[in-house]
Amino acid sequence: MEAINLNNMGTQVPVQELIWANIKDLPKESISEILDFIVFVRTKTFHPEVLEQSVEPNSLHHELSVLDYAETSHLESEFADYQALYPHE
């Protein structure tokens, strides 16, 4: 089905009607993605502080630090007693 927009309708149609006309025959999964986007836009519009709190500049740094610590711990356990097991000749 072709997307319905203001250009191929020939008349002024409320945006809400255009949205409905373009999503009503989409699969449920696609409509769910659209709903996720609508919730994001509503949050950004009406409650921007929620997004500012959830996207802290240090959150990625913290995640990478935790990952780095986990990787280091794993490698240390893999190479425990390495020199005793494999002495330098």
pLDDT digits (tens, 9 = 90+) for 7-61: 555 678 899 999 999 999 999 999 999 998 998 889 889 988 877 765 555 666 6
The band of 5, judged by pLDDT with boundaries at 50, 70 and 90, is low
Query: What is the pLDDT, as a whole number, of residue 62?
Result: 66
How many domains does one find in the chain? 1
Asked if residues 23 and 34 have their Cβ atoms less than 8 Å apart, the reply is yes
Overall pTM > 0.75:
no
In a domain, 31, yes or no: yes
**77 pLDDT exceeds 90?**
no
Please tell me whether residue 65 adopts helix, strand or coil conformation: helix
Going by C-alpha positions, the residue among 22, 26, 19 that lies closest to residue 2 is 22
Range of the domain at 48: 6-85
In a domain, 40, yes or no: yes
In a domain, 61, yes or no: yes
Query: What is the pLDDT, as a whole number, of residue 19?
Result: 92
Burial degree of 43 (CB within 10 A; 0-12, 13-18, 19+): middle
In a domain, 1, yes or no: no
